[in-house]
Structure 1
């Protein structure tokens, strides 16, 4: 009998549909059913697809009622594998949008590893895992107090900062004296790190019952990913990057991206049909990942979620960049135009609360914002000269790569948000909220200028979920928010 390796993860949920992702030990039929008494009712079913020895399924559930609550179980070839027989947690359930209650969202980023994968010595450097602790907390609460959505804004896994447990696994399979040393090198190693991160029983239950929306940040691939054209040239010159990016983006597509898509988008996506329909989808998946790295317009990682009066627009602020100096942008023209149109559509649709997900904060502490803009101007103005090279080194060493480091993009996103807030595209939303992580710092910032906007525009930043906050970073943000810096 096949067993459940990972999952279930409750992913896309709207008013009438849901998707549930699993990884299984062998090829099988995956059924999602409901019914506590008597014959179970089938909600959805899928046959697993195969990628290099791994088996996955994304089960589509449709025909649900808006605002409904549906407990479910998972069966592999008719044998119940979820919930586990000895589980003491509440049943996993699908809660659709569209009810009359307030819609609540929990968000954050930067989860280094599950506590179960960290040695006692490593634990001394880390605070408790907030996501793990949150799972324990809500399991003891009435379901009415559970959140409606979980938004994970990057660094769901760390490819470049591995645990001692991971290092031992890597050393058993290859020579760590060769690049990329004790960082992840290929697809198989990425599957290992997802298993390590998501096998935690508390996380498995949380992800099975709260629908999750995800996007990558740099550590899902490599630190400073796509910081600049100089960074790109250097990384492309290595002999290990192709396997690394193929493994990173290929595994991201499998473990995170396809769950971000709606049932309609899944049916229309040719990559989904190609990879899930192959005898072994690995070659097609690898080519998809390599082409995405070479040509960002070949795939759109950004997406939107429609939650009744709330809408989430998740922006890819890593892979879709334009990096050549003189044409440097957080998003290339095609991607930015799409983002603008999605925001305008939200206004025209009368959405009350518009959420913009960006792994990187749009609004930073004023002093840091000015530093990043100044650095970007030095690199641009003195490109190829000593000052420009010096500024580029500072940019990469200091992670000066947020929206402020792309001044035109910063202004362009601000312009479309302000146009919505002024009611230029239908009724102005009650709130426009930019949700971010990355910076190992939590803060709220509000736009109070220009006058004439009727929506509240906030930057909400929450990070890290489970990682240390280095002392220099603490001091940097204290200075960044100090009165002299804000003045």
Structure 2
């Protein structure tokens, strides 16, 4: 039996690792002497193998056996063996993570692929094959738009046309679980991507295109899209497949063991799709100002910590109390950030959407939110502008933006050397330094890497350069204050960028010294550094 997709190496700790696989049929999957039985979703089969008993600070080559037959590595593979590299006391004070967002797959159409340019993650995978394992990154962070459910490649559209039976569904967007399954296979099936996912611990969070462009922009947006006869099917398939393909692997073995939904799925004989429908509804609906499922998560990486924040599905809109996260989930995030900060040298906070935008653009989003909350024609026009211009980032959720900023300011009063917010989404890359009043020696940065592989429209470039202008920022700040914006607890300035084009970023720390590198593919496929920013030390 062969693997349909994977293996994907997910959460790795000192003595454990989680490996995700998709098989062609029900099976027993074994890795390094540990096994798991597949579960079924709509005639697709998956397993998370929890590998236990590993040694800290060690490297383990692994194979995947399905019903006793080796299925990975594939025969004749040109790639090095897949490995699990554990952390431990010897490496606790060192960290290297690569990150980025917005990775559109290769299309097979030369005109489109030439326009998209070289895939930065593909190029990084090629580099990795020639590097000693000891120099490989500790983790890969994918910060949104892992799949494009609403912008299909020509191949994906052809597949859709061949299977779509109902004209009540959109002709060029996926809707069903089966269609999402094909999309994940298409996007993660490239040999280079499949190999790098098999050998670097990978954390993921979604953004809008994993479901639909501008997903959860506002209450009017949700009200309008919910009128579409196929939208509930889309939510069920999109959130259900996200839970299977992306979310489960973010959890540690202990969290998986304590997760009621995962344990219910394992206990179901046969298709567990009905449970995923209920799960997706629970994740999507608002009850008492909160969502029924938390997708935010935490990884401990030696003396560094990653707290990944769901800034898409967690939004509270229907109640009229507009928030980026419900209060219960926000409290959870705050607790993870503040927990035992004396043991943390570098705090990484992941959010698919940037916390700090170019200042002028941030103020415009604040102005728009204030106007959209007002009744009458002014509010209607502001809502139309919000949806047309994609004004739905952290500053467009002002109370959440201020709470998020306050959380970071409080953490900066502690002992971390650096606090870095890692983001994507905006199709340009930059590093910005935030300055709070009286936060001691901790440095705070917004680090954005986007896209990994996508097209950057020409009008975007001058617009973002203009939005970083200090003179324009002073004008928009005065405008925002006149509109009713409070004073912000920090200022920020651009240290690098904006960089345009396909990019992969690396956060590297040793002791309390950290820096970030932004790299882009050259025509020969080699990556070259386009920016390097020292974050501390």
TM-score in terms of structure 1 length: 0.94
> Who is 1:36 aligned against?
none
Partner Cα distance (2:440, 2:332) in 1: 23
Q: What are the equivalent positions in structure 2 for 1:157-196 lying under 5 Å apart? A: 157-174=147-164, 178-196=168-186
Partner of 1:375: 368
Structure with greater strand percent? 2
Contact 1:68 1:99 (8 Å CA) reproduced: no
Looking at structure 1, the residues matched to 89 and 75 of structure 2 have their Cα atoms a distance apart, in angstroms, of 32
- Once residues 461 and 135 of structure 2 are traced to their aligned partners in structure 1, the CA distance between those partners, rounded to angstroms, is 33
8 Å contact from structure 1 (residues 15, 307) kept in 2: no
Quote how far apart the aligned CAs of 1:401 are.
Answer: 0.5
1:105 pairs with 2:97: yes
The question of 1:459 aligning with 2:452 is answered no
Match for residue 358 of structure 1?
A: 351
Q: 1:325 to 1:478 in 2, by over 3 A?
A: farther
> Quick one: distance in 2 between partners of 1:324 and 1:5?
39
Q: Give 1:325 shift.
A: 7.6
Aligned twin of 1:68? 58
C-alpha displacement of 1:176: 7.9
Unaligned 5+ runs, structure 2: 475-537
Kindly report which structure 2 residues correspond to 1:55-454, keeping only aligned pairs within 5 A, or say none.
55-101=45-91, 102-113=94-105, 115=106, 117-174=107-164, 178-278=168-268, 279-295=270-286, 297-324=291-318, 327-347=321-341, 350-380=343-373, 382-383=374-375, 385-423=376-414, 428-454=415-441
Q: Which moved more, 1:279-288 or 1:152-161?
A: 279-288
Give the CA RMSD over aligned residues.
1.4
Structure 1 stretches of 4+ moved >3 Å: 175-179
CA distance in 1, matches of 2:4, 2:68: 16
Deviations 1:103-151 (CA, angstroms, capped at 9, x unpaired)? 10000000111x2x33112113211111111101111111122111000
What is the DSSP-based 3-state SS (H/G/I as helix, E as strand, rest coil) of the residue aligned with 1:189?
helix
| Paired residues of 1:418 and 1:453 also in contact (CA < 8 A) | no
The residue number in structure 2 matching 1:470 is: 457
Aligned length: 468
Deviation at 1:246, TM superposition (A): 0.5
Contact 1:313 1:357 in 2 (8 A): yes
TM-score (norm 2): 0.85
Give distance in 1, aligned partners of 2:272 and 2:459. Answer: 45
Tell me which residue corresponds to 1:39. Answer: none
Shift in Å, 1:86: 0.5
Q: Secondary structure at the match of 1:460?
A: strand
| 1:100 aligned counterpart, secondary structure | helix
Match of 2:491 in 1: none
